[in-house]
Structure 1
Amino acid sequence: MRVLDVATMLAAPFCAALLGDFGAEVIKVEMPGSGDPFRRFGTMTEAGASLNWLNDGRNKKSVTLDLRQPRGAALLKRLVADCDILVENFRPGTLERWGLGYETLKAIKRDLILVRISAYGQDGPYRDRPGFARIAHAFSGLAYLAGEADGPPVTPGSTSLADYISGLYAAFGALLAYTSRERFGDGQMVDVALYEGIFRMLDELAPAYARSGFVRERMGADTVNVVPHSHYQSADGKWVALACSTDRMFERLASVMQRPDLLAPDRFPTMAQRVAARAEVNDIVADWIGSLSRDEVMRRCLDGEVPIGPLNSIADIFDDPQFHARGNLLHVQDRRVGEVVVPNVVPRLSATPGRLASLGPDLGQHNDEIYRGYLGISAEEFESLRADGVI
């Protein structure tokens, strides 16, 4: 599979990176001189590229090409003729203004798969609005739910979550389209709005509102229909996540706590009773956890088969034996910056596993290989394109 990544920053490039993790040849098309702004986003390295770029530009070849120039658009068309998937995340209509719209590209290659990620999708009244992941978190309804009940809405963990989720859905769509192409011979367009993947993951938010008008509000670490299901602090100041999603789980917790009285018929044996007495149940659990060290709480709960886990910082993750056993932290030697540790490929396949062949490339590193090797451009034309700022 050959993929053209003409996008910038994160969502669509992440889609291409996922395909590259499993063997696709990904050609990253960047502006001459400056390249993808993601190269300079985040912690910079001595190589002049950010750690973000080294990680998420993985398994790609970089060429420079100014798509705004007619000669640049013509070169992209030549690349499209021999590729399977093109991913982009410009505002809707941008490729069309450059003479590179879907119908134009489809005329060059009938079975091309065009993956388009934008803030609000290719249609609708908001199609022309700009957007980033933070805006998607707000628009989708996620940010409204994040934070304490008496506090303002906050960022839900990662400001780039919507980018990564959109990229994942886009890769899923690309593979569905690729499978369809194998059966029916035609390509198609995959259209993903940045907010849609987040909205799809908000469990029963939409059907609950449509059915009863229920508007879920911020609840901090709690969950709307499950108690106890939250974060609790141990005696040594550390935090654990506890998840008693069923009555059976709460029975086990009561046993671990040596509190059989909590299961009395007029107390909290059912989820409905616990939800109705949320504050009281949470206080009881918090007091018990707060009387023990985190390690002791973890030991007792795990021995009693109660779902519990630590709230890990990245330092905790680097020390955790599970992350090491699963190979989640991949140590990569890079000729420019030495060792870099990045998240490993996901998912794990037993017969055809993915791999990380290289970190994010230097700008234009593969110009000669792609333009002269793949397209057969002469040395004279190559120098002319470079002199004119096309590549």
Structure 2
Amino acid sequence: MAGNDVANAVGDDRPLVGLRLVDGATGPMAAIARHFAELGADVIRIEPEEGAADRHAGSRCDGVSLDFVAANLGKRAAPIDRAETLLAGADILIAPRDAFDIDMLRARHPALVVLSVSDFGDTGRFRDWTGSDALFHALSGELSRSGIPGRPPLLPPGQLAIACAVVQAAYVTLVAYWQALKTGQGDHLDFSMLDGTAQALDPGYGIGGSAAGGVLASKLPRGRPDVRFMYPILACKDGFVRLCVLAPRQWQGMFEWMGRPEEFADPSFNKMPVRFQSTTLLPAMARLFADKTRLQAEEEGQRFGVPTAAVLTLEEALETEQMVARQFFKTVDLGNGLDALFPDGVLELDGRRMGIAGPAPALPSPDVEWHPRPNPIHPSNDGDRPFEGLKVLDFGVIVVGAETGRLLADQGADVVKIESSAFPDGSRQSRSTGPISPTFATGHRNRRSLGLDLRHPKGKELLYRLVRDTDVVLTNFKGGTLKTLGLDYETLKAINPRTIVVDSSAFGPTGPWSRRMGYGPLVRASSGLTVQWRYPGEADSFSDALTVYPDHVAGRIGAIGVIGLLIRRLKTNKGGQISVSQSEVMLSHMAARIAATGLERAGHPVIDADKAQSAVYACAGDDEWCVVTIRHDGDEQAIAKVIGAQTLTEWMAQQAPRDAMETLQAAGVPAAAMLRVSDLPGFDYYTERGFFRQSMHPHISEPLTMEASPVRSIRLPAPPDRPAPVFAEHTADLLNERLGLSRAEIEELLAAKVIEEFVPPTTT
């Protein structure tokens, strides 16, 4: 069987069975539709009869493009001259900008959702610029945060920017499809890969990690700050390990592990800033690991409650006991007697992996037709926003938790954050004294807060009463925590069979690492990414400490799962469980390289057909840089016409980075100035796109800059502008509204410390 025949053969429980998608995207952007194929959609790729150029691009083994296979698993292919016939029965079209007359297409097919994909969007003066993964890092503010102080900025490894933009594209397309189901009216989404990078990789004005202490990335020092102390990487006998010592309980574990040294016994060391400012603490911690192996360090870290991860190579990461137990890789037949392992999807629904739905398509067949589909489904058309009327209980913490809830709240869902002062969300940690930090405020807009003690029997009773009328429950705890809290899916399902539960964790809900405490930096270390994020030839030059990845993109994967199960619920009237592993999300972004690694080990040579090379060049000024991607001889010839007899390095040294960028892009060469986060709101591209908006918070004196909308759209309304809640701000209102509790009953619960309520500070 080929393509979606497999998905249809195994049953109709994949949530997007019945959805029809015409895919005209090529190259890495073809991976957008793969997310739909994995969830059961019928995806037909359209291309010339001889095949599109991306069939021969990137890493190749015996003539087979591994990049093409990774982006197109589970699809079928038809010749492009059948596009109009296929579109007559389609729900979604994904295509490069200008591939179709969109106005005419939407007039013929008013219910069709069209995603137009381009590097810099459909409109504005940047419309015809050319991008690359390196350029998206530069223009999103990510590059300015990658590297070591006093050194050139370091381009992140792989194709992380594009991979994250692809997920953002899949998310917004699915949102628009849900809205089209509600209203019967399609949409045109103007999707820019730079927009997607700036939203889903590590948004400079989004929620930050707990180690940031609530400080916005726009407030960082001009150079790349030395933040390696936040998630320190320390040498041991056989390599390196990374630690995460943020919460007071983690520090107490570290203190015990070190043998309770008197030098660090002062209670002030429970405070993160005090530890960060110490000049002797890291050397003392380093001495602890000098004679340990990585495995010993990991095992002892677990015992002392200190999140610890070995820094692994990609090859080591693929063979960990967790990856083996999770069976995350699947063998794909490449033809010519070859097969290779590819990551097998990034979502589990009800314990079943939504993975590879079939091989990559053979050359286009004129006989391809749509699969039959079930009867049409339509959500109730309540309100203007896609998820208006949806009730969400949000137990999510730090970045992944914040993002999933915000994405749903921005589209109209009523998201209630459940909090406890005994176990505060790490993202509420702040170096300021106010009741809320700027990063928390940007990451938690449009939701409400309920203070509730789940350890108290009455607290648990209140929660279960709320669950009876709840559509979605969001969580991202380590394995086993849900059951301990009484939040596991089986318990909630017994209360409300329509409830959808999201379980996001570092390593997934099963396997020997499922109970490990995981943070993004530790996941990067154990998944083989941190070791790639170094200056060439410098073993200890790890440079990913300031990056928050894959948290934001994993939050979007969770939201995609929610929409998928909402669609399935229309057919079955039942909810379900979504599981997301951050480590698997990250490894999915290295799919072609993972396949190449296995093939090379088996003795099959892999060549890279992509001749594009990206480099960072120093420009005139203090710590000013410009990125250039040279794709082919034509770029080199165009550069020669611009710079004359000089070398590119010499010419760049005389140019302001934005001048260099403008000149090279005008000559058709991909180039981008390195922007700092503080530069983004004033940069022409973002102002033309209306990418940011200013918002006021009642407890923050300065306006907050935040993302305006997830995509430029004809029909999706802009997100509302309700301020993020202070802790337990809406407790009384919510219990009265949802459960009908009187003020007297609420006062009784407050006195018993079952619930908590925000008390405004008194003024004198």
Residue 47 of structure 1 and its aligned partner are, at CA, apart by 3.2
Partner of 1:265: none
Partner of 2:451: 64
Q: Is the 8 A contact 1:35 1:64 kept in 2?
A: no
Partner of 1:147: 534
Q: Per the alignment, do residues 356 and 147 of structure 1 end up closer, same or farther by CA in structure 2, a change over 3 Å counting?
A: farther
Partner of 2:716: 352
Partner of 2:549: 161
Among the aligned pairs, what percent are the same residue?
Answer: 26
Matched, 1:125 2:488: no
Partner of 2:695: 332
Residue 191 of structure 1 and its aligned partner are, at CA, apart by 0.5
How far apart, CA to CA, are the structure 2 residues paired with 1:27 and 1:224? 50
Code of the aligned partner of 1:160:
V
Matched, 1:179 2:567: yes
Counterpart among 442, 458, 461 of residue 74 in structure 1: 461
How far apart, CA to CA, are the structure 2 residues paired with 1:98 and 1:145? 38
**3-state SS of paired residue (1:71):** helix
Matched, 1:343 2:707: yes
How far apart, CA to CA, are the structure 2 residues paired with 1:79 and 1:247? 63
How far apart, CA to CA, are the structure 2 residues paired with 1:359 and 1:136? 31
Counterpart among 208, 211, 218 of residue 599 in structure 2: 211
Counterpart among 30, 33, 36 of residue 425 in structure 2: 36
Partner of 2:738: 374
Code of the aligned partner of 1:40:
Q
**Residue-pair matches, total:** 358
Partner of 1:217: none
What are the Cα deviations for residues 125-154 of structure 1, in whole angstroms up to 9, with x where unaligned?
101111111101112222111121122252
Code of the aligned partner of 1:199:
L
Moved over 6 A (4+): none
Counterpart among 437, 449, 463 of residue 50 in structure 1: 437
Between stretches 165-174 and 337-346, larger displacement belongs to 337-346
Q: Per the alignment, do residues 250 and 23 of structure 1 end up closer, same or farther by CA in structure 2, a change over 3 Å counting?
A: farther
Partner of 1:109: 496
Partner of 2:409: 20
Residue 210 of structure 1 and its aligned partner are, at CA, apart by 1.1
How far apart, CA to CA, are the structure 2 residues paired with 1:38 and 1:9? 5
Residue 381 of structure 1 and its aligned partner are, at CA, apart by 2.6
- Counterparts in 2 of 1:221-236, with a 5 A limit? 226-236=611-621
Q: Per the alignment, do residues 139 and 245 of structure 1 end up closer, same or farther by CA in structure 2, a change over 3 Å counting?
A: farther
How far apart, CA to CA, are the structure 2 residues paired with 1:58 and 1:378? 28
Residue 53 of structure 1 and its aligned partner are, at CA, apart by 1.1
**3-state SS of paired residue (1:160):** coil
What are the Cα deviations for residues 311-345 of structure 1, in whole angstroms up to 9, with x where unaligned?
00123223312222222222112222232222333
Q: Is the 8 A contact 1:62 1:363 kept in 2?
A: yes
**3-state SS of paired residue (1:10):** helix
What are the Cα deviations for residues 281-311 of structure 1, in whole angstroms up to 9, with x where unaligned?
xx95334433544344223212211111110
Partner of 1:197: 585
Partner of 2:88: none
Q: Is the 8 A contact 2:456 2:754 kept in 1?
A: yes
Partner of 2:283: none
How far apart, CA to CA, are the structure 1 residues paired with 2:541 and 2:574? 45
Partner of 2:558: 170
How far apart, CA to CA, are the structure 1 residues paired with 2:698 and 2:684? 29
Q: Is the 8 A contact 1:23 1:354 kept in 2?
A: no
Residue 195 of structure 1 and its aligned partner are, at CA, apart by 1.7
Residue 225 of structure 1 and its aligned partner are, at CA, apart by 5.3
Mind listing any 5+ residue stretches in structure 1 that lack a counterpart? Answer: 215-222, 260-282
Give the TM-score normalised by structure 1: 0.84
Partner of 1:274: none
State the Cα RMSD in Å: 2.5
Q: Is the 8 A contact 1:88 1:115 kept in 2?
A: yes
Between stretches 283-292 and 179-188, larger displacement belongs to 283-292
Partner of 1:272: none
Partner of 2:626: 240
How far apart, CA to CA, are the structure 2 residues paired with 1:26 and 1:57? 10
Q: Is the 8 A contact 2:493 2:499 kept in 1?
A: yes
Q: Is the 8 A contact 1:73 1:100 kept in 2?
A: no
- Counterparts in 2 of 1:380-391, with a 5 A limit? 380-391=744-755
How far apart, CA to CA, are the structure 1 residues paired with 2:705 and 2:679? 15
Between stretches 165-174 and 322-331, larger displacement belongs to 322-331
Q: Is the 8 A contact 1:14 1:164 kept in 2?
A: yes
**3-state SS of paired residue (2:580):** strand
Q: Per the alignment, do residues 284 and 143 of structure 1 end up closer, same or farther by CA in structure 2, a change over 3 Å counting?
A: farther
How far apart, CA to CA, are the structure 2 residues paired with 1:224 and 1:158? 32
Q: Is the 8 A contact 1:240 1:294 kept in 2?
A: yes
Q: Per the alignment, do residues 236 and 7 of structure 1 end up closer, same or farther by CA in structure 2, a change over 3 Å counting?
A: closer
How far apart, CA to CA, are the structure 2 residues paired with 1:79 and 1:147? 48
**3-state SS of paired residue (1:229):** strand
Partner of 2:476: 89
Residue 245 of structure 1 and its aligned partner are, at CA, apart by 3.2
Q: Is the 8 A contact 2:436 2:699 kept in 1?
A: no
**3-state SS of paired residue (1:195):** helix
What are the Cα deviations for residues 365-387 of structure 1, in whole angstroms up to 9, with x where unaligned?
11122101211123333222211
What are the Cα deviations for residues 237-291 of structure 1, in whole angstroms up to 9, with x where unaligned?
52111122345444433444458xxxxxxxxxxxxxxxxxxxxxxx953344335
Q: Per the alignment, do residues 296 and 6 of structure 1 end up closer, same or farther by CA in structure 2, a change over 3 Å counting?
A: closer
How far apart, CA to CA, are the structure 2 residues paired with 1:250 and 1:75? 67
How far apart, CA to CA, are the structure 2 residues paired with 1:173 and 1:247? 43
Between stretches 108-117 and 333-342, larger displacement belongs to 333-342
